[in-house]
Structure 1
Amino acid sequence: MKANRLGRPRASQIAATKAVVRWYLEHHFRRPSDPGVLEMFCDPSRVGAFAVDRRALRAGDGRALFRLLVATAMFQRRQDVQILRILRGMGASDADEISDAEQLLALVDEGGCAHMRTTLALAEECDLDKDPRTRLGCCNANPKVACHLKRHTVLLKRYGHFGKVPTSIALMVREAGVEDLSALRRLVMRRAPDPLTRAQELERELSRAWRVNQKIASMFLSMVTNPDLSRGLAPWSRGIDWTYYVVIDSNVDLFLASIGYKGNGTYDARRDFLRELARVVDLTEFDSALQRYNPRLVQQAMYLFMSTANRRAAIADCVHLAPTACATCPRALRSRCPAAPLAPR
């Protein structure tokens, strides 16, 4: 089976993907070591004061969903283990403010700066940064105003303008004309005609916020829609095509490159190929309780296999049994494994 003009997967690509899915299900699926899934965001030992209440999530509570989205937005351009340290290191009162839309919008409305009134103003007029000498928040647009964005960029310990993110997410919801994320879903359900269009429109809506791109939107939306990854906690699993959401990052790209994927490089092209690849991976062959077709689970396997930092941090990972475990590893994985050379000898 050779790839054709439609980008259909080759037999070797299917074999490697099935091998990595089997590895993931055996070593990490539904275990505490599984990163970037809903259970992680409900665990105070992993995300500290940002932990979301399971019952509130299951009920689709708007405040819980907002907290989840803000915490999810942190996971970009840094290793997961580093972001988790930042989340755990923040005090409860600061975490509550940063992850509560009502408080954020009150700070916007009470603040003395016009550059943070809308998502557009935040993107085009606010030049939030960090002073390289003091590491405190600063700006040139309105330097004398001690706004909450300058404080947030210090608390979040990311690049200078990252302090805009939580406030921009709150503004995105308000500008949609709804009171919370649950109401945004209901709005999209009413105006979009079918599950796939609803999935795409939700992704577009979330991506209006500062630094919320397709990857972050898909990470959040997959957690609240995907029945296999969220184990009964996904409040939005009905009426939305959850198979649309896959999280393409540098680790997934590494795996795709290792199996010879040569797409055009866009997020949509990589997502389309991964979804096509997942169609020929029947997950019920591994676990009858799973959905037959679940691209997000297939993608999670690729991501975690190529994530050396996450694997080294996971006690259950086979990297800690090298080189013994490597001897029995399928060749399709052994030749691609980035962690084996770093394993203890």
Structure 2
Amino acid sequence: MTMFCDPTKVGHFAVRAEDVAAGEPEALFRLLVATSMFQRRQDLQIMRVLQGIGEADARELSTASTLLRLSDGSPCEHLRSTMALRERCDLGKDAETKLGVCLAKPEHPCHLKRHTVLLKRYGHFGKVPSSIALAIREYGATDLGELRRQALDEVSTPEEAALLLEAALCRAWRVSRKIAHMYLSMMTNPDLCPAAPGPWAEGVDWTQFVVIDSNVDLFLKATGYPGPWTYEARRVFLRELARRVDLSAMGDGLAGYNPRLVQQALYLFMSVTNRRAVERDCGRRAPEGCVGCLVELRGVCGWGAP
């Protein structure tokens, strides 16, 4: 969460921790848009993209009311719903000019074409911010806070609430379970949020949210995880693995059972790029710094410990 509050990390997409804790609608939406960027590229690369987007463009990309106004005012019917964006919008990038293009209305200066250039991702990635805004409206909510309140009214257990919130976010284009879990864990997990418990923690089983990416998969493969390799199977496995780690013994008021923190430790352990950016990483003291590490872990260390 701290990273998303730091303008030196995410530029004009940074939010104030107190606004998130207070449930301020614009802050919650901006945080979700910024979170959606962190997929299939190294974190440092994504941060450079976000840092390079100007203030006015960042505001447009991360303000739900603006995105809905642009979508509703467009002559293109493919911008009217998440389904139309997903199934009929053929947004892409010209291989030579790198400008946003489409076949449906090639002459129309669609805001998605501008967004796909600004975000510097896949050609279709410009759909993401508008799709998130549409997904919230299609749920019958005016903002993410209202979406949460409606979801909690529809269920009877904290686990059901967690799964329903995940499903609601995943209606949006390119908001996968991983991205939904990143966002929801920041909003609910008491050890990730600047205000404990998290602003959305009440009524939600935050232990359901586990972020599985390529670095976590590297650890699972290196340590003999047999599968299956569906997201759900890996999530269940990591939640059970976390039951063997009592984080409260580490002090600092940590919850004893926190699958998200255990998963994050695996991610950091295997992420060479992110570790090299940390001055106090034990890999900088190799081989002396490796003495305290289990022999079994030295063999799979992302840094390449002896």
Q: TM-score range by the shorter chain?
A: over 0.9
Aligned to 1:50: 13
User: Which position in structure 2 is the counterpart of 1:103?
Assistant: 66
Q: Does 1:331 align with 2:295?
A: yes
Q: Is the 8 A contact 1:251 1:306 kept in 2?
A: yes
User: How far has the Cα of 1:330 moved from its partner?
Assistant: 2.6
**Could you list the runs of 5+ residues in structure 1 that have no partner in the other structure?**
1-37
1:241 aligns with 2:205: yes
Aligned-partner Cα distance in 2 for 1:253–1:136: 34
Displacement of 1:98 in angstroms is 0.2
After superposing on structure 2, the runs of 4+ consecutive aligned residues of structure 1 that deviate more than 6 Å are: none
Q: 1:156 aligned to 105, 116, 119, which one? A: 119
Aligned to 2:245: 281
Instruction: Give the CA deviation at 1:164.
Output: 0.2
Deviates more, 1:165-174 or 1:308-317: 308-317
Instruction: Tell me the residue number matched to 1:320.
Output: 284
The residue that corresponds to 2:228 in the other structure is 264
How many residues align structurally? 305
Q: How far does residue 217 in structure 1 lie from its aligned partner after superposition?
A: 0.3
Relative contact order (alpha carbons < 8 A, sep ≥ 6): 1 or 2 greater? 1
Q: Kindly report the root-mean-square deviation, in angstroms, between the aligned alpha carbons of the 2 structures.
A: 1.3
1:132 aligned residue: 95
The equivalent of 1:114 in structure 2 is 77
- What amino acid is the match of 2:273? A
- SS of equivalent residue, structure 1 residue 230: coil
Decide whether aligned partners of structure 1 residues 311 and 184 sit closer, same or farther in structure 2, where only a CA change above 3 A counts: same
Share of identical aligned residues, percent?
Answer: 58
TM alignment of 1:213-228, pairs within 5 A: 213-228=176-191
Residue from 256, 270, 274 that aligns with 1:292: 256
- Residue of structure 2 in register with 1:21 after alignment: none
Alignment partner of 2:45: what SS?
helix
Matched residue type, 1:58: A
Alignment of 1:197-216 (within 5 A): 197-216=160-179
Give the whole-Å Cα distance in 2 for the aligned partners of 1:328 and 1:51: 37
The CA distance in 1 between the partners of 2:303 and 2:85, in whole Å, is 40
Shift of 1:153: 0.2
Matched, 1:184 2:147: yes
Q: Does 1:71 align with 2:34?
A: yes
SS of residue matched to 2:174: coil
Q: Which 5+ residue runs of structure 2 have no aligned equivalent?
A: none
Partner deviation per Cα, 1:137-179 (whole Å, 9 max, x = no partner): 0001111111000000000000100000000000000111110
One-letter amino acid matched to 1:102: S
Question: Equivalent residue for 1:34?
Answer: none
- Contact 1:323–1:340, Cα closer than 8 Å, also in 2: no
Match of 1:141 in 2: 104
What does residue 25 of structure 1 align with? Answer: none
Tell me the TM-score normalized by structure 1: 0.86
- 8 A contact 1:326–1:340 mirrored in 2: no
SS at match of 2:191: helix
* Equivalent position of 2:130 in the other structure: 167
1:298-313 aligned at under 5 Å gives the runs 298-313=262-277
